[in-house]
Structure 1
Amino acid sequence: MKKILVPVDGSDNSKKALERAYELGTLKNSEILILTVVNSQRDNPYIIDQDYMSKLSKDNIAHGEKILEEAKKKFENYPGEVKTLLRNGDIAETIMDIAEDEGYDCIVMGRRGTNISSRSLLGSVSNKVLNYANKCVFVVK
């Protein structure tokens, strides 16, 4: 694996995915991209107040930047290249698009994120990526 994509959302499962990506990446000195995707529209698609949507988007971006900053700290001693990326859009689609477009060999992600009921075995995002990505997918629990 030369390139590993790690989507994170700040959840405990995504932190475990970071740990696993570090371990896997160290074996081959892989390039790692830590990705956070924000989706302001997901919160409530019926909100038409543009000022509120703008504030919500800014808050989501700031939160995403904080998640990436904390995640990158875990890679301070990593022997390979580590990049971070913040995107806005549909979470699962964005993960799969970046993996495909940028030539990532593998996606390492948590089984459930911050918005999923604990009753679910897999979260909707990890389930969609696992079933539809044309890449190797490690789901970490």
Structure 2
Amino acid sequence: MDILVPVDGSDCSFRALEFAADMARRYEADLHVVHFSDAETDATDEIVNRAQNVLDAQGVDAVPEVTTDVDLEFRPGDKVGDDILELVTDYGYDHVVMGHHGSGTIERAILGSAAETVLRSERVPITVIP
């Protein structure tokens, strides 16, 4: 089993990473961690380092990757959701584990939600962690 975990630096994305790391250990699955950004910055490095610390603490052999080939200017949640689905299709991931901020209706209408985009696609099983 191949599990994909997108992290965005939020606490809920790191809770999702901890859940996915435990799941990967239990089911002897391969874990793939990705962070989407339109540019690599100190904040990006901080997110990757924090993700690596979670993986190390959980004893999971994985290296977080950064994808910068995205345009996050308009409806970034939907765009990232589409990019996650593209990764699922391209690499054949069996499961996605994601955090969700629990935004309200207005925030979703303006920003979209990556987790909702993946969930509504029904292309891959997804576990959503609040």
Q: Give me the TM-score of the superposition, normalised by structure 2.
A: 0.77
Q: Is residue 125 from structure 1 mapped to residue 114 from structure 2 by the alignment?
A: yes
Q: Is the 8 A contact 2:21 2:60 kept in 1?
A: no
What are the equivalent positions in structure 2 for 1:49-88 lying under 5 Å apart?
A: 57-59=39-41, 62-78=42-58, 80-88=60-68
Structure 2 segments unaligned to the other structure (5+ residues): 71-78
2:89 matched residue in structure 1: 100
- Structure 1: 5+ residue stretches without partners: 40-56
Q: CA deviation at 1:76?
A: 1.2
Q: Go from structure 1 to structure 2 and tell me whether the alpha carbon gap of 1:24 and 1:66 turns closer, same or farther (over 3 Å shift).
A: same
**Is the Cα contact below 8 Å between 1:34 and 1:72 reproduced in 2?**
no
Residue 43 of structure 1 is matched in structure 2 by none
SS at match of 1:139: strand
Amino acid at match of 2:124: K
SS of the equivalent of 1:108 reads: strand
In structure 2, the CA distance between the partners of 1:74 and 1:135, relative to structure 1 (3 Å rule), is: same
With over 3 angstroms needed to count, the CA separation of the structure-2 counterparts of 1:18 and 1:58, relative to structure 1, is: closer
Note if 1:23 corresponds to 2:12: no
What is the aligned partner in structure 2 of residue 14 from structure 1? 13
User: Paired residue for 2:73?
Assistant: none
Larger radius of gyration: 1
| Residue 134 (structure 1) aligns with | 123
Aligned-residue CA RMSD in angstroms?
A: 2.3
Q: Secondary structure at the match of 2:64?
A: strand
Deviations 1:104-123 (A, max 9, x none): 110000012xxx7x435976
Percent same amino acid at aligned positions? 26
Query: 1:65 deviation in Å?
Result: 2.8
Structure 1, residues 37-72: CA drift from partner, whole Å, max 9, x if none? 114xxxxxxxxxxxxxxxxx353xx42232112111
Task: Decide whether aligned partners of structure 1 residues 138 and 97 sit closer, same or farther in structure 2, where only a CA change above 3 A counts.
Answer: same
The letter of the residue matching 1:127 is E
Deviation for aligned residue 1:140 = 0.5
Change (3 A) 1:133 1:98: farther
Does the Cα contact within 8 Å between 2:55 and 2:61 map onto a contact in 1? no
